[in-house]
Every structure is written in C-alpha cells, then in structure tokens.
Amino acid sequence: MVKREGWAAMMTVAVLGCSTAASSTGTDDSLSIGSTTTEASPKDTIGATAETLGPTTGLSEPAPTGEVTTGEASTGVGPSACGGDIAPGPTIVHTSGGAIEGEQLADVVAFRGVRYAEPPVGDLRFRPPQPRMCVPELAPALELGPRCPQVEKNAQGQVATMLGDEDCLTLNVWTPATGDAGRPVLVFIHGGGNATGGSDDALYDGAALAAAQDVVVVTLNYRLGALGFLTHDSLAAESPEQVSGNYGILDQVLALQWVQDNIAGFGGDPQRVLLFGESAGAVNTCSLVGSPRAAGLFQRAIVQSGSCSERALAKYEADIAAPWVAASGCADAACLRALSVSEILTLQPDGYPDVAALGQGWGPHVDGAVIPKPALMAMSEGTHNAMPLVIGANAEETAKAVPPLTVPQYEALVQVTFGPQAAMVLAQYPAADYGDDGQAAYVALTSDLKFICGARRAARAADAGQEAPVFRYHFAYDGYETAPNTTAAAFHGLELVYIFAGWGAVLPDPLEYEPNADDLAISQRLQSAWARFAATGDPAGADLTWPAYVGADDNGALLDEPPDLFNGVRTQQCDFWDMLLP
C-alpha cells in the first residue's frame, strides 16, 4: 500500500453517504444553493460492492404487475422446512428465515447480505415490506447485498451512473462469536438523503467496532427515493389505513423486528439494542423514536446530525410527491408499478442530496399511521417511545458542501434564500464575523440552521417529554492530518470514521491513511461511549465525562481530543433561529 500524507482524498467521502451536487430539489440533509462543489460518494473511491449497471437498461426491472418474486423461499412450516435439520455452529445460525452461514474473520464472525424481507418487486413494489419466508436449505451469507436503486451524479448534476437492485432488503451482522452471550447490539442506519447510500459502503464495516467493544453490530439497507417514500391516492387506497409512502421507514421497522427475533443466536441481547443513524439515517432514527410501529424494538437511540421534524403530508406531496407523479404520467398504482427502475430514478424531482441544502426531498412524512405526528412534537408531548437518547451535531457540518463565496455572493445568496427575512439573517451572520469570508459565513449559517440548532431543539423536546436521560454532544474534532493548503474541519459525517475505525475507507486504493495518536484516541473514546450507551443507557465512563442533559443549561459533551464539557453551543444563533422559525 502507498502511504499518503493527510486526508486530501477525504473530501471524496466527506458526506459519507450523502453525496452533494447542484440540485433543483433539496433533501432531508440538504440546501440547493445553485453551483456547489460536488463530492463523490464513498462508491467512487472505496470500491463498494453495489453493481454498476448500464446507462440505458438501468437496474433490475420489476416483475410484471401481480407477480411476486420470492427467490427460493419455501412456504413450508416446521423445523425441517426452516432448516431445523441443519446443525448450528460457530458460523451457522438459525434465523426466522432459515439457517445461514457466515464467515470467520480474524476477530469476528461476519454474516453479510442476510435477507430480512421478501424482494419488494412486482406487486410488492410501493407496499409495506413482507417478512422473509422460510428457506429450508443452508443459505450463504458471505457477500454484501446490493444497495437499493439510486443514481450517482457528476459535477454538473447529471446522472453519471445508476446503481443497485430493487431486490435490496438485506442486513449484515458482525459478532465476536455466535451463541447465547447477551452482548449489546448496535444497529446502524446509513445516511444519503433517503435517496443514496447503502450498507455495502466500506466505511460501515462493523468488524472493528464489534471486535474492539465486544458488541454485535448490524447494518441494513432500506428502500430509497420514490421506491421508499412515494405517496399517491391509488397506493393509499390499497392500504387498510388509507396511507401510502414511508415504505423505507417500514423496512427499518421490519429489520429491527428481525433483530428482536434473531439476534440472540448471534450473541446479542434483544433487550439492549441501540439504534443509531447519521444524517438521513438520523432523521429516520428520530422518526422511529416517534413511531408506534417501532415500540419495543430498540431501547436506546443516537441521533447524529439529523433533524427530528417530519413534514405534514400536504406539504410533502406539494414539495416532491405530486410533481414526481405528474412527471411520471401515471394515474394509478398499476402504472406506477409498471415503470422501469431507470425511469423511476431519473424522473424529476429526484431529491438528490446536498448537505448544505435547506429544502427537503424524499423522506419520512406525517401520514397519521406510521408517523402519527412529527417526532419533535411527539417527544415534547411524551407520546414517543421514551428511552435514553443521545442527540448531537458536528461543528462545521457543511464545510465540504459550500463552495467558495465572495462576500457579495454570500449576501446575494442569503437574500435569494430568505427574502424579506434576509436582513435579519445577515445581521446575525455578518461576513465580518467570519473574516470577510463568504464561504465561512455560509458554512456557519447552514450548519447552525440545519444541524446544531436542530440538535438543541430535539434535546430540549426530549428532555421535556420523558424521564429517561437525554445526552447532548457537539463533535468538534479536527485533529486529523491534512494535505498542504487544506483546512481541517469537523464536517458532516466525520465522526463515523472514528466510530467504525474505518481507516481503510478514508482514501482510495492503493493509498492508505495512517491514523495519528489523536485519531486513535478519539476513535477509542467514541467507540467506548457508543458501546457503553448500548449496554447501560449512559455513555459516560472513566475516559469521558458526560452528564445528562438539562434543557435550561443546554449542557453536554464536547467531543474533541481531549474532550470537554459545554453549557450552550452557538446559543445566540440558535435563539435567533428559534425566534425566526418557531
């Protein structure tokens, strides 16, 4: 391997599953500001395993309407039908879908590409997921499953590649050893604006975390974009509750149910399950905290750089679903299910993610059933799934997503974005406070508005609505080695490198990043805190002081090297946004 000084190529994975590009539609982790720097997704440099398909035929097409693809699933019942005659072993575990065989690695056993649902194709497209049927034969679980259908775009915002497969509902498990051991379980939901990303991303390999902390790590795929979140009257008419959309959230619910049903066989404790997500994965985590469908499926949650407020159905449809359906030319469910996957991916608005964008695209929305009310409201009222919670954001979330801006460009952008409120915004974020650097001013503005102040709002709501403890953090570490003329920043998703100890995912082969002493120290500190929280509901330990949150104090842990405590982060700015956007 060739060693390379610094993280020059870190920019290519800066959003860690949330690629940025100029887009007419923002996303749950995004703000369309016209011409933005485009950051390639981890696929571009890490070599993830999702299949890259041709530009014309696209991805796997759905089966004809009414035909359900079920692979080799059997409808038989009883131990024999479900593989009960297959002897368990160190790499063989019986699950509700049959026996599966993983791979013994140096320190853990890995089970990759485990199906937790029937393929959501044909008549199962745009429907809630169906549990995986029993398979009598021993099924290999040796390769990561394909990510769900999505596109990658070039610097001009044009579709460069279509990735994935509609048959994508798989998960992965890393465990120090199978069998009844009762280890804490950490379930991760990836980001990507609910339009991109997948559990095949090399950064999300759970082996290092599982081995270092003696925990079980689970990652999963869920449906994205229109396939995961489309609403339409004809789809709602098929539902007993008369709702549609939120299919990607229901995928996550089913995956969590699979964990409850099966994780004991992988050495995990189903009563000590931590759900943590980053970016759009954090948005979804918060939605699950607020959803009655997820009650009892996990016992702690960490919301990393994501909002806790879903749109009302009418606004969601006006923003994205109705324009998309109009572009499709479809008037009913049959037509929607007959569309090719490539057509679905390229219809506008496509909701492609941009970390700095203020608008929202595909994602969870209030439907009255899966999500009865916005999670922020549910938490403040105490009608959510109360549990120990950790909520936080990074110091310079949008640092890799905002292009260079002169002061006049910055001020013009604020004027266009905020209209009659622009003068107040500029008074709160004068370029002079940021060295007359328009880019720095806009990074501060968007990081506060989208992430830092949202974390305070969610922490306060949860603290008001539950007895279980809430913990807030502010991740400010920027001690990694940089390339010449590159400024380090605690940007969106950076903390994931340290939680997963994903050094091999930082630079493209054959380059290799060698972590420095501070990198290793904060990685150990974060891994230990996340594992302790999964085990006990308290992230504090001998290596990290972290008191429970008190809304009036706005206190928490400053995650840096060395760590510290805070009472208030960007308080004046967050007070401003609470006043301007109540």
- The residues annotated with a catalytic role in the active site are 279, 397, 492
What's the CA gap between 65 and 334, in Å, rounded? 7
What's the CA gap between 343 and 56, in Å, rounded? 10
What's the CA gap between 84 and 81, in Å, rounded? 7
DSSP helix/strand/coil, 475: strand
Where b means 16+ CB within 10 Å and e means fewer, 316-330 reads bbebbbeebbeebeb
Under 8 Å between Cβ of 568 and 474: no
582 burial (CB, 10 Å; 0-12 / 13-18 / 19+) is: exposed
What's the CA gap between 249 and 376, in Å, rounded? 17
What's the CA gap between 189 and 85, in Å, rounded? 34
Rg, the chain, Cα only: 22
DSSP for 121-141, please give it: -GGGTTS---BPPP--SPEE-
Backbone angles phi, psi at 346, to 5 degrees: -105, -5
Under 8 Å between Cβ of 163 and 149: yes
Under 8 Å between Cβ of 65 and 103: no
**Which helix (H) or strand (E) is 199 found in, with range?**
none
Tokens standing for residue 104: 């013994």
Closest listed residue to residue 441, CA positions, set 432, 450, 451, 453? 432
Closest listed residue to residue 39, CA positions, set 183, 191, 166, 214? 191
Q: Look up residue 264 and give its DSSP letter.
A: G
Backbone angles phi, psi at 456, to 5 degrees: -65, -45
181 burial (CB, 10 Å; 0-12 / 13-18 / 19+) is: middle
Under 8 Å between Cβ of 569 and 452: yes
The label of the residue with tokens 């009255």 reads 368
